[in-house]
Every structure is written in C-alpha cells, then in structure tokens.
Structure 1
Amino acid sequence: MGHPHGIGIVGLGAISKAYLDTLTHASGIRIAAVADLDASRAQAVAEGIPDAAALTVAELLASPEVDTVLNLTIPAAHAEIALAALAAGKRVYGEKPLAADLAAAQEVIAAGGDRVGCAPDTVLGTGVQTARVAIDDGLIGRPTAATAVMVTPGHERWHPNPDFYYQPGGGPLLDMGPYYVTALVQLLGPIRSVIGAASTPRASRTIGAGPRAGEVIPVDVETHVSGVLEHAGGALSTITTSFDATRTTAAPIEVHGDEGSLVVPDPNTFAGDVRLFRTGDTDWRTLDPSAGYVDSARGIGLLDFVAGEARASGAIALHVLEAMTALLQSARSGSRITLESTVVRPELVPLMHRDEWLALG
C-alpha cells in the first residue's frame, strides 16, 4: 500500500475523536485530509493534526493523498459516501452498520468487494478473541447456545442530537446490535436463519442533554427487538436489544456448550474478563488473555484492514446486517427467514501488544 498510508476522514462527529486518538499514534498511516458538512469543524480538527488538510467531501475523494476513506457519517449516508469513495478509486472503511438497509449494503460490497472494511472492530480485542480461543480449544465442549443482551433507556438521555437513532438505519438492533451479532459470528460462525419479534412502546422521545434539551423527536423504528439466530454449526443464539429498559444483571454475552459455559465481556469494549465454568467446577475462573490486540481502541480495525488482514471486513458486516434486517423483517411478518449470505470466520488475532499493532499498515 505504500507508507505512510493516507487516510481521509469523512464525518467528524462524536465518534471521530476515538478514532483520531488511535490513528494519530499509528506509524503506518497518516491522516491526510478531513471533511465534514460543517466546514468550521473540519478546519478545527485539521489544525490539530500535522499536515492534514480540511477539504470538502468532493475534494477529499479526489485527493491523491488519500488511499483509504474512513467513513464516519451517519448511517443514512454510509452507502452514498462508500460508493463515491470506491468510484474514486479509494478503499473505504466505515462505521457500522455498513449501510442503512440491506440493498444499499449489497451495492457497496458489489462495487468494492475486499476494498471495503467495516466496524465494529471491538471484536478484535482480547475479550472476544480470548473467548474464541476457549471455544475453539474445546473448553466448553460442543457449543450449543448463546445469549446476548443489550438494554438501555435510550441514547436521547445523553446525546445532544439523537434523531438518527430513531430513524431508519437506527434503533437498538442496527445501532448496538452489530457489536453483539458480530461477536456471535466470531465465536460461533455464520448465521443460517433467524426469527424475531419487536415493538415500539413510545412514538416519541425527549432530548435530555445539550442545547436541544426538552425537544421532542419522533420514533420511526422498533426500539425493543428480540430474536433467535441459528448458526450454521447448529448453535442457537438468543439476542435482545432495547432502548426501552433501564438496566440488567445479564452478562452481555454467554456461550454454552455440553461441557461448560463462558461469560464474554461487553462486545462494545475491547477487553474485559472472560470467565469459564466447566462441568464439575465449583466456581467460575477467569482466563488469561490469549489472543487479540492488547489495549486496543477504535481504529484498530482500520489498521488491520490497511495491513491486509481485513478481519473487520465488509463481507462480515454485510452478513451481520442481513441477519439484523432479517430479524426485523421476521418480527413484522412472523416468519422464520433463511439468510442468503454466509461468511468465513476471519483468522484469529494473535496476542499483539500496543507497540506492535500501532506499527500495522
């Protein structure tokens, strides 16, 4: 790819800081340009990055200094920016979901193939990767089932502009579900079919923070979604994602086999304890990290992608999006839905420390 590899960032909202905190320390890449609908915001960000240019989106896509576009726009714009970047001859790595709907995501992958990468990259940290080693090494025997639970009262409590969470492409499943479903695919392999149920208890939400506090916004998506995922290997995962619950004591993910069970840390984070209980044990024990990018953060998936590993690939993102949109379709129709796509689990991430992965690229 050449060194350093030029990155152009489109979209400089709240998540961009987390990416910049990682990418500005990576030796294999450089931030060549940034763009945002708010030109003043782009200028302010560029001023904090050596040699970065504040450009319009069109200028960034045309820039010969940009090899890969990091697409951090809102979900409704993911496909448009990705397709434009691919048409300009760039590679593209985007925030999840791959697109706001399945047809648009399929168009992106048809246009770009392996030139497309996509978050979440949290599954590349030591949490999910260590759990995967335990499963692959047979510590729980044959995997039979898993549970995934994400509940929150809703992002409008803290986000100053939460509108897109309640518009098509948002909702708890498409917003937070990618972390959980991607983790389940990492752990148990591709999904064969799904069946789901969903509800929208409230037609509106009230913004609780920022200059728009007190403003009422409409809800146009399902805000509580439950479902069952049938994995190709035979295991069944149950998932619940909700913007209509306050708190839970459930583990974010548990995986069960015929010889033991695993507690997997929050897939919205990169690390955390993986706990194992085998048949005959008297208590849970915590496993030492055995795989994954150590002390990683958002942006590690982009570094992995630029390095040619592509463990956070567009193909996985498409498969996960199909599973999630099929769950919503199933909830509306009451029917079990068989997925059209499948995917091969990517290579396990070897245990790699920060100084090593910051040199990727």
Structure 2
Amino acid sequence: MGEPLRIGVVGAGAISGAYLDTLERLDGIRLTAVTDLDPARAGALAARVPGGGVAVVGSVADLVVRDDVDAVLNLTVPAVHAEVALAALGAGKHVYGEKPLATTRAAADGLLAAAAAAGLRLGCAPDTVLGTGLQTARAAVDGGLIGTPVAATAFMTTPGHERWHPDPEFYYRPGGGPLLDMGPYYLSALVHLLGPVVEVTGAASRPRAEREIGSGPRAGERFGVAVDTHVTGVLRHAGGALTTLVMSFDIQAARLPSIEVHGTAGSLSVPDPNHFDGLVELHPAGGEWTALPVSAGCPGAGRGIGLADLAEALAEDRPHRASAELARHVLDVMLTLLDAAREGRSLGVSSDCVRPEPVRL
C-alpha cells in the first residue's frame, strides 16, 4: 500500500478508544493528530498511541489544514457530523465518520456533492457489517441456502442509554433516538442481506418526557426528551422481501432475535449487527437449526476496519464498502420511516444505493 494513510481524529469521547484499539494494529493507518472540545481528553487519547508523536490540536479548523493529515476520522456527536465533515472535505481531506452521516437529507447530499467535486473519499460507520457475523450470513443468503428471501425481522430493544452513558442527552435530541442511533447498524446489515429499501410504513411514540442519568458524576440528573423513543416499521426491499423493524429505548427486557431472514427454502438467524462476529444459524425447510461455519468477513475486526478498507480501496482504486452512498440511503430510510409515522401512511424511499461488495474471509 505504500505510505500509511495519516489520520487526524476529531472527537476523543467514549468511542475513540475502540477505534484506537483497531487502528494501532493496522500497518496502513497512522494516527497523527487529535482534537476535542476538552483538551484533556484529546491529550489522553494521544498519550495512548504507542511511540507517541500524535499532535494535540486546538480546533477542528487547525486540524484539517495540517500537512500530516490525509484523512479525518470524525467521532463527534451527530448534530455536528456534517459540519465537521464539510470542513475536512473543504480542506482537501478524505473523511470517515461515525453514523449517522448527517441528520438531514440536504446535509448528507451536500457532503456527497462536496466529496465528488473534490475527488475525495467519504465513508461512514457502521463497519460492523464487514465482520464475520454479517458477512457469513450474507454469503448464506447469496448462496441460496434459504431460497428466495421473503421476509426479515430486526429488533433493537433496550431501556435506554442513560443507564450507562454519563452524558446521554445527545441520544434524546434531534439526530438521536433509537432509530438514528442504532438503526444504522440494522439497516446497513439489511441492505447487505436484502438490498436497498423502496417503501416504508411506520409508527412511533415518546412515552416519557424526561429521563434520568443512571451513572457517572451526574447520576440522578433529569433531562428532557426531544425525539421518539419507540419506532416500529415495515420496510419493502427492492427484491420484494418485507422487513419488520422495532427500535426502542422503552423496553425493559425482551427475548427477541437481532435479525432473522426467512426464505422459500429456510430461515437464517443473524447475530447482533452492533458486533463484528457471532453465531450464524440456518434452519433449512424440514430440518433443524444448525450453526454455519465462518465463511466470509474480517476475523477479529473492530471499529475502524471500515477506515482501513477505505485506505486499501484508495490504494487499489476501487470503491470502499462503508460508503457515504450506503449511509445516505440508510439515513433516507430512517427519516422516511419517521415521516411515515407522523403522516400515518406508507411512503416511498427516494434514494437508492448499490449493495457493497461482499468481504471474502
């Protein structure tokens, strides 16, 4: 691959450590700079890098113009994802960011247009879909093990992130909620498995006006809820399969599978798409549930493998898999689902995307 892709990190919050754990294992990636609203957090992240040499930078504006930064890893809160990404693209840097790509369709479209005009790469999490769990499941679907897919279910149920996150307010503000926060994992997986979504029907609710922080120095503080916290919908995929989706911060406990895909010749149990691996089980027609051997995906992957794929794609002059086009479609599906819930009717999804290339084992 030649010289490593030099990375500047914007945002040194909780998720940054998981990225660092992956990036420090990759020869094609080198962290060179970091900035955060809290300089102490930025310094702590820089100090974790073996060998040192990571600059702690005072602002986003200063970081994106550095000569030792080829790409920006955008780990900010959702409300400023688009703003930070646009600044980096404007400075001539490739961008890989946390999900969602943006909080509005217009902002997402602006990012895609800016990246295309500048000839730069724009990628977006989740990259969990590149792990062995989802890719083994995709290989089973593509290989015809369940026949023609006809239906799927996808469930993400939790009492809410305020139980464990010390500063959880952003999960309950525009750009957050169970659908925009966790939905990208499930919808990205469903696009890999079944293709893009063409129509949605939905319903949503907000049972509680306030939440209470459950951990950290602010435990016991209450804050307001500005988004729907229980969302359910039916998605029609381009191939005809129907997915039933439930995303909730209002369910105390449930015994529901993360994702199941059902076809004319069998059913498939898919592991939690918030993780990179997990057991994939097949139930052929007339048979029994059987675990499938790992057959595809990146073993031992962690958060940041999508950025590594982007760096490799640059060197090989091919499309990267955790693409902005996929993230834009997923955002459109989520926003259209919320629109359908508000309007009480089915709505078509105006965007489209190409299924990313599968990952060989």
TM beyond 0.5? yes
Unaligned runs of 5+ in 2: 314-318
Give the AA of the match of 2:56: A
Give the AA of the match of 2:201: I
Determine if contact 2:161/2:168 at 8 Å carries over to the other structure. yes
Instruction: Note if 1:296 corresponds to 2:301.
Output: yes
In the TM superposition, residue 2 of structure 1 has moved relative to its aligned partner by 4.9
Post-superposition CA distance 1:25-70 (Å, at most 9, x none) = 2111110100001112212222232211001221110101111100
Instruction: Note if 1:68 corresponds to 2:71.
Output: yes
Post-superposition CA distance 1:111-148 (Å, at most 9, x none) = 11461100000010011100111011110000000000
Determine if contact 2:17/2:45 at 8 Å carries over to the other structure. no
Find the counterpart in structure 2 of residue 80 from structure 1: 83
Find the counterpart in structure 2 of residue 54 from structure 1: 56
Find the counterpart in structure 2 of residue 349 from structure 1: 359
Find the counterpart in structure 2 of residue 192 from structure 1: 198
Distance in 2, matches of 1:202 and 1:45, equals 36
Distance in 1, matches of 2:25 and 2:54, equals 14
SS of residue in 2 equivalent to 1:149: strand
1:1-361 correspondence runs (5 A)? 2-49=2-49, 50-56=52-58, 57-113=60-116, 115-281=121-287, 283-308=288-313, 309-351=319-361
Determine if contact 2:13/2:41 at 8 Å carries over to the other structure. no
Distance in 1, matches of 2:55 and 2:123, equals 23
Unaligned runs of 5+ in 1: 352-361
Q: TM-score, normalised by structure 2?
A: 0.95
In the TM superposition, residue 101 of structure 1 has moved relative to its aligned partner by 2.0
Distance in 2, matches of 1:239 and 1:118, equals 22
Find the counterpart in structure 1 of residue 316 from structure 2: none
Give the AA of the match of 1:13: G
SS of residue in 1 equivalent to 2:17: helix
**Number of equivalences:** 350
Distance in 2, matches of 1:138 and 1:146, equals 15
Distance in 2, matches of 1:179 and 1:45, equals 26
Determine if contact 2:282/2:289 at 8 Å carries over to the other structure. yes
Distance in 2, matches of 1:86 and 1:323, equals 25
SS of residue in 1 equivalent to 2:31: strand
Give the AA of the match of 1:338: G
SS of residue in 2 equivalent to 1:307: helix
SS of residue in 2 equivalent to 1:173: helix
SS of residue in 2 equivalent to 1:107: helix
Q: TM-score, normalised by structure 1?
A: 0.95
SS of residue in 2 equivalent to 1:84: helix
Post-superposition CA distance 1:248-297 (Å, at most 9, x none) = 2111000000110000000000000100001111x200000110001111
Find the counterpart in structure 2 of residue 356 from structure 1: none
